[in-house]
Amino acid sequence: MTTLIAIAAALAVIGIYLSWTAGRLDRLHARIDAARAALDAQLVRRASVAQELATSGLLDPAAAIVVYQAAHSARQAETEQREVAESDLSQALRAVFEEPQQVEAVRDAPGGEEAITELAAASRKVPMARRFHNDAVRAARALRRHKKVRLFRLAGHAPFPLAVEMDDEPPAALMERVSAR
């Protein structure tokens, strides 16, 4: 009789542990979804601010076209092309704002201070949001690699989480000028 009680207790402990692990994995997937939504919001905000700056008349015509086209492509990109389009926007912003004099020229124009500040804030938040997302993906992947998770199919039908890999480095001159003020 004590053997049956010991076996039942062991099975109960194992069941509780597996349930706890499944709950943890579910929370990680929810965290990934929330982080992805935050990243998407930051990417849309950066593209919107870049488009506003490009159409404001504060940039020279060539720079305005480059920024506008990259921002428009980033906003209109399909899911599978989004990372490439966002990387192109980062490169366009770095090309336009690679020199501190370019940032100062825009800043000195009427309305330029607000536009530069808003673009810098949006550009600064994208790498942080991507880092949060990729950290959540890394944690979920680590848990999903455990044998117990695979053996008992604790992940259910949730797709394997994918990290977002893109060039999101903000223009250095833009970040220097904003942090200096």
- What ranges do the domains of the chain cover? 15-180
How many Å is the maximal CA-CA distance in the chain?
86
pTM: 0.91
| Contact between residue 25 and residue 46 where contact means Cβ atoms under 8 Å apart | no
Q: Dump the DSSP string for 103-163.
A: HHHHHHSTTHHHHHHHHHHHHHHHHHHHHHHHHHHHHHHHHHTSHHHHHTTTTTTPPPP--
- Residue-wise pLDDT for 111-127, tens only, equals 999 999 999 999 999 99
Residue 14 is predicted with a pLDDT of 95
| Tokens at 171, concatenated | 């223009």
Calpha distance 134→98 (Å, rounded) = 27
DSSP code of 17? H
- Residue-wise pLDDT for 56-90, tens only, equals 999 999 999 999 999 999 999 999 999 999 999 99
CA 134, distance to chain mean position in Å, is 8
The ranges of the chain with pLDDT < 50 are none
% of residues, the chain, pLDDT over 90: 94
- Output the CA–CA distances (angstroms, integers) from residue 142 to 14, 24, 39, 88, in the order listed: 20, 12, 21, 31
